[in-house]
Amino acid sequence: MIPDLSPSDKAKLAAAKQASLAIETGMRVGLGTGSTAAWLVKCLAARVREEGLAIKCVPTSTQTAELARGLGLDVITLDQAGTLDVTIDGADEFDAHLNLIKGGGAALLQEKIVATASAQMIVIADSDKEVATLGAFALPIEVIPFGLESTRKQVEEMLLAMEVEGRETSLRMKETAPLVTDEGNHILDLHLKRIGNAPQLAMTLNQIPGVVENGLFIDICDRVIIGSGDGKVETRDINAGTIETDQVDFANAENLFGDPAP
């Protein structure tokens, strides 16, 4: 029997289950990081167990890799895969043009590398992630530890010339020490409130020495699947210009909590 889930988790599950139906045998699939992406991993693992779906998966973090392996998915590296058919991931924010802010789970570097190596990117989210203008969620940037404060100062000076409403920055911590990413870097969170020109900001940030990558995903996402707690899903395709609605059945959702494949 399916455990009691919050409306938010049901919305994430609905989006993830709908997205999992786009995966076919033989595909090479990028797996995102975060709570919504974790539902996707569980949905794919259930299809592997029950339908014999044969896929190869490239995770975007150590966390996702461990979950995928534990559920019996065939995990390979991006170098082994070469290119991917699709990446499915969550987002912290998305706008009407399907531009994103990502990096709340501190995996933005690997997420962007995997997404751009894919023929298409599908984002799964609940409706709370949709915004008129990006920026309410803090924008993460991954920076190398060497010269951290110098890099931070350059970022803050650069923001003076950008179309943003806030310019506060903070170093992301894990307990009492700076958080360390899978690549051995740190995360600076930029509290911008509103980003007027996201493409310009993304390009300018990456020109600062010490900045490895930023959490703005511009013109990368092809489709967003928005889930609701009642199982309704809306799929928006930016390339086709279409909006489709569907209803996800939670009746067999208990199979997501079964034993992992051997």
- Assess whether 67 and 177 both reside in one domain: no
- Assess whether 23 and 96 both reside in one domain: yes
- Which pLDDT band holds residue 225 (cuts at 50, 70, 90)? very high
Ligand-binding annotation for 77, yes or no, is: no
Per-residue pLDDT for 169 more than 50?
yes
Q: Which of 24, 51, 93, 111 is catalytic?
A: 111
Which pTM was predicted?
A: 0.94
Which residues, in sequence order, are bridge partners of residue 164? 195
- Assess whether 25 and 67 both reside in one domain: yes
Q: What percentage of the chain has pLDDT greater than the value 90?
A: 93
Q: Which of 242, 228, 152, 146 is nearest to 189 (CA)?
A: 152
Per-residue pLDDT for 50 more than 50?
yes
CA distance 152 to 116: 27
Per-residue pLDDT for 261 more than 90?
no
CA distance 48 to 13: 17
Ligand-binding annotation for 102, yes or no, is: yes
Average pLDDT over residues 206-230: 98
1: in domain? no
Query: Quick check: 57 and 76 in contact, CB under 8 A?
Result: yes
Ligand-binding annotation for 30, yes or no, is: no
Ligand-binding annotation for 87, yes or no, is: no
Per-residue pLDDT for 213 more than 50?
yes
pLDDT (tens digit per residue) in 6-46: 999 999 999 999 999 999 999 999 999 999 999 999 999 99
Domain count, the chain: 2
Query: Quick check: 171 and 188 in contact, CB under 8 A?
Result: yes
Distances (CA, A) of 220 to 29, 87, 239: 16, 10, 11
Axis crossing angle, helix 62-70 with helix 35-51, rounded to the nearest 10: 30
33: in domain? yes
Active site residue 111: yes
Q: What pLDDT does residue 167 have? A: 96
Per-residue pLDDT for 141 more than 90?
yes
Ligand-binding annotation for 36, yes or no, is: yes
- Which pLDDT band holds residue 257 (cuts at 50, 70, 90)? low
- Assess whether 116 and 184 both reside in one domain: no
262: in domain? no
173: in domain? yes
What domain range includes position 194? 139-212
- Assess whether 15 and 117 both reside in one domain: yes
Per-residue pLDDT for 202 more than 50?
yes
pLDDT (tens digit per residue) in 68-108: 999 999 999 999 999 999 999 999 999 999 999 999 999 99
